Structure 1
Amino acid sequence: MPIKVRLTVMNFVQFFIWGAWLISLGGYMGSQLNFSGLQIGSVYSTMGIASVCMPGLLGIVADRWVNAERVFAVAHFIAAGALIAATKVADFQTFYILMLINSLFYMPTLALSNSVCYNVLTRKGFDVVKAFPPIRVWGTVGFIVAMWIVDLLGWTKSTGQLYLAAGAGLFLGCYAFTVPPSPPFLGETREKSLASSLGLDAFVLFKEKNTALFFIFSLLLGAALQITNAFGGPFLDDFKATYPDSFGVQHPNLLLSISQISETFFILLIPFFLTRFGIRKVILFSIFAWVLRFGLFGLGNPDDRLYLLVLSMIIYGMAFDFFNISGSLYVEKVAEPKIRSSAQGLFMIMTNGFGAIIGGYGSGWVVDHFTSTMGIRDWPSIWFTFSGYALVLAVLFLLVFRDRRIETASASIPS
């Protein structure tokens, strides 16, 4: 089998695992385990906890001592085992611990998967910039396919989603041993300090006002990333009393998957927007897109206002992609060459680490605040609160963030 096809399969399954439960687990926890909003949010925050340190730690192991594909395989085995164990428990504390273990070992595989692909493609003589994107896009396809399978098999409110993810994880762990080896790098990699490997040396960027402001906004906006992942399912499930036969209630994952489909579309638009408007304005467009994303959820329903929910899903592509890619480009421009890798790691820690932790617990608190003693959730108030939060961020960003290094410069992306 050609090496590109083999790496495509690896990327497909890598994100298939995540797509099997990420969007629908909130619905399962709410309807079957009767977890509160704060408990659901805290389970999703485990991914943020894992993102703070584990990618760096397992990356060090892969860089210095053990082949990357072997670290990748073992991590998937452990993560899959935790998912299988989670299907057997119903109490929050045990479930939380098992999902934390899963996150601690699954989240690092996102970076390790890229590392293995880069290593193998380079060793085989491919141009990574041109060869990797067509391979990586199949990861998004895998995520969507998993969501559709879970929905069509009726597993959005059952442990079937966890078994599916675990089975795919065990398969990928075995499959990883069949890809060409990615041995540790000698020399400079072994000499790097622990702080450098974890991206801590990039904290020097906080000395500059605008860069510090950017990372603070990254953290605050990162809090928005997991909100609809955690509560999109429970939101649609609560319409089963009023619109039991509606498409959104019957097929929540199919509806929510439009968000992921939208991502692939907006990725193609990023070069045009960056060239025409520059990094700062594209980031601002992203924040305002989050305002609309949440606001349309507050106005919509899965029946006569289904079009508003669909529009919200489409806008998600702009909200998610525009910030992540333009933010990454901003970091690339302002960081000195010797700390650029660490700076990118810090950007991920702020958004997917600390931001996700704050978002998980904060969104859970908001959901519980607008839940009556009878367990009825006031979803419009919940979504409008999130929308208001994003609007405040947008206004503050517009007023306080001005960096001359990117104010007039346009960005380009290699084709």
Structure 2
Amino acid sequence: MNVKTKVQLSLMMFLEFFIWGGWFVTLGTFLGHNLKATGAESAMAYSTQSWGAIIAPFIIGLIADRYFNAERILGVLHLLGAFMMYQMYMAVDFAGFYPYVLGYMILYMPTLALVNSISFSQMKNPAKEFSFVRVFGTIGWIVAGLIISFVFLWDSETSREEGLLKNTFLMVAIASAFLGLFSFTLPKTPPKVKTDEKISISGILGLDALRLLKDRNFFIFFLSSILICIPLAFYYQNANPFLSEIGMENPTGKMTIGQGSEVLFMLLLPYFFKKFGFKNTLIAGMLAWTVRYFLFAYGNAGDLAFMLILGIALHGICYDFFFVSGQIYTDSKAGDKFKSAAQGLITLATYGVGMLIGFWVAGKITDSYIMGDGVHSWTDIWTFPAIFALGAMILFAIFFKNEEVEYKE
């Protein structure tokens, strides 16, 4: 890639994840403080991510890959997303907010595949070149959190009481409009599939890879992937409201420690993978979820604040060791014929089915442990996903037979 293209793709990734991190992290806190939403309503809002993940393959497979350049679709989706985000900013109750967050996530989730497609099409050696571009996405997410906490102080107790947290949606709407316009200047990425080529719904959703489930090990991994997404949903939905409610200062900014950890452990993953093997790496990732949630359950914003910070910092192990390792394992099991289908199937199972169930469960559990004045019994709430993650880990450890998986950098 030439320098201009590298800069364009890096800015694209920065904005893509700045947009996501700029509102999704604080969504639960906003819903509780600004819209007085219940745990069940928060679950509905977060579940829009899963519905977006389920619908996204149809937009990519039936439209983007067949009729239009990827960069143009990206531009249109983000411009429409800017409108949806502005309507979320203007909402005064959950009933008026929900249709727009649902519409937004249906528009946004396909863009995650589009930015990858645009990037890969410009790279001669994606295995070596993509990581440089993709890391700017993580940086974008971190910058969004730091701006919210340390520049505008929107997640401070005073700002929350004044309702200023809704300004995150306005910030993201502006960034989305900018990325929408900027997308039309990106390198041309024409459709990959000819319009007269036959395309099946099962192929779009990755269902062609269902035959991999006949392999006992892959079935156990597939089932474990769905199960571990249930406790994962608790983190997305409850972490920021939890930290805000117990009085931690600058919670959104401090949560960016998790993204820094993600970058660090991504670099360390090849070592762990080669040293301890695939099974032990996944077990470590699943066990980290249990440890993290127990740290949240028994930590506090005072003398035990280090437990909360450590729990946030475990994000790199929680995410990289399970999900990234899982993508590598899926790639190795699928073979050339079903690589794309298999990755699509895992995405549908985790971000679609697994997290859809997880958000619903998290909403029910959260509503079950409300004490006086809307204060939650967080020890009880966090204990549930901790034990659930431990159970999923034990299931995987017992029934998954160790096998060699090659790590290809």
Normalization by structure 2: what TM-score?
A: 0.93
Offset at residue 375 of structure 1 (A): 1.9
The answer to whether the 8 Å contact 1:57/1:198 transfers is: no
Counterpart CA distance in 1 for 2:183 and 2:396 is 43
Secondary structure in 1 matching 2:374: coil
Q: Is it true that 1:218 corresponds to 2:228 in the alignment?
A: no
Aligned to 2:212: 205
Offset at residue 288 of structure 1 (A): 0.2
Offset at residue 399 of structure 1 (A): 1.4
> After the TM superposition, which residues 12-411 of structure 1 pair with which residues of structure 2 at under 5 Å, given as runs?
12-121=14-123, 126-152=124-150, 153-156=152-155, 157=160, 158-187=165-194, 190-240=197-247, 248=248, 250-372=249-371, 374-402=373-401, 407-411=402-406
Encode CA deviations 1:211-263: one digit per residue, 9 max, x unaligned: 222211111112222322221121122224xxxxxxx2x21112111111110
Offset at residue 187 of structure 1 (A): 4.6
The answer to whether the 8 Å contact 1:55/1:107 transfers is: no
Kindly provide the amino acid, as one letter, of the partner of residue 330 in structure 1: Y
Judged with a 3 Å threshold, the aligned counterparts in structure 2 of structure 1 residues 283 and 24 are, in CA distance, closer, same or farther, namely: same
Counterpart CA distance in 1 for 2:224 and 2:403 is 20
Secondary structure in 2 matching 1:301: coil
Q: CA RMSD in A?
A: 1.6
Encode CA deviations 1:153-174: one digit per residue, 9 max, x unaligned: 0223421111111111110000
Judged with a 3 Å threshold, the aligned counterparts in structure 2 of structure 1 residues 308 and 189 are, in CA distance, closer, same or farther, namely: farther
Counterpart CA distance in 2 for 1:272 and 1:88 is 48
Secondary structure in 2 matching 1:34: coil
Once structures 1 and 2 are overlaid, which stretch shifts more, 368-377 or 282-291? Answer: 368-377
Kindly provide the amino acid, as one letter, of the partner of residue 407 in structure 2: S
Counterpart CA distance in 2 for 1:107 and 1:54 is 6
Counterpart CA distance in 2 for 1:218 and 1:108 is 21
Counterpart CA distance in 2 for 1:278 and 1:188 is 43
The answer to whether the 8 Å contact 1:293/1:315 transfers is: yes
Encode CA deviations 1:101-125: one digit per residue, 9 max, x unaligned: 111010110110000111133xxxx
Offset at residue 315 of structure 1 (A): 1.1
Offset at residue 413 of structure 1 (A): 2.7
The answer to whether the 8 Å contact 1:120/1:181 transfers is: no
Counterpart CA distance in 2 for 1:127 and 1:86 is 40
Encode CA deviations 1:64-98: one digit per residue, 9 max, x unaligned: 11111111111111222111101222322331211
Aligned to 1:413: 408
The answer to whether the 8 Å contact 2:70/2:114 transfers is: yes
Counterpart CA distance in 2 for 1:314 and 1:373 is 31
Offset at residue 380 of structure 1 (A): 0.7
The answer to whether the 8 Å contact 1:278/1:411 transfers is: no
The answer to whether the 8 Å contact 2:329/2:405 transfers is: no
Structure 2 gap ranges (5+): none
Aligned to 2:5: 3
Counterpart CA distance in 1 for 2:264 and 2:51 is 30
Judged with a 3 Å threshold, the aligned counterparts in structure 2 of structure 1 residues 166 and 297 are, in CA distance, closer, same or farther, namely: same
Structure 1 gap ranges (5+): 241-247
Offset at residue 340 of structure 1 (A): 1.4
Judged with a 3 Å threshold, the aligned counterparts in structure 2 of structure 1 residues 188 and 205 are, in CA distance, closer, same or farther, namely: farther
Counterpart CA distance in 2 for 1:358 and 1:303 is 33
Counterpart CA distance in 1 for 2:195 and 2:77 is 25
Counterpart CA distance in 2 for 1:154 and 1:400 is 48
Encode CA deviations 1:273-305: one digit per residue, 9 max, x unaligned: 110111111111111000011110011112211
Secondary structure in 2 matching 1:336: helix
Counterpart CA distance in 2 for 1:266 and 1:221 is 19
Secondary structure in 2 matching 1:33: coil
Offset at residue 384 of structure 1 (A): 1.1
The answer to whether the 8 Å contact 1:59/1:112 transfers is: no
Judged with a 3 Å threshold, the aligned counterparts in structure 2 of structure 1 residues 209 and 188 are, in CA distance, closer, same or farther, namely: farther
Secondary structure in 1 matching 2:153: coil
Identity, % of aligned pairs? Answer: 34
Normalization by structure 1: what TM-score?
A: 0.92
Kindly provide the amino acid, as one letter, of the partner of residue 191 in structure 1: K
Counterpart CA distance in 1 for 2:261 and 2:341 is 30
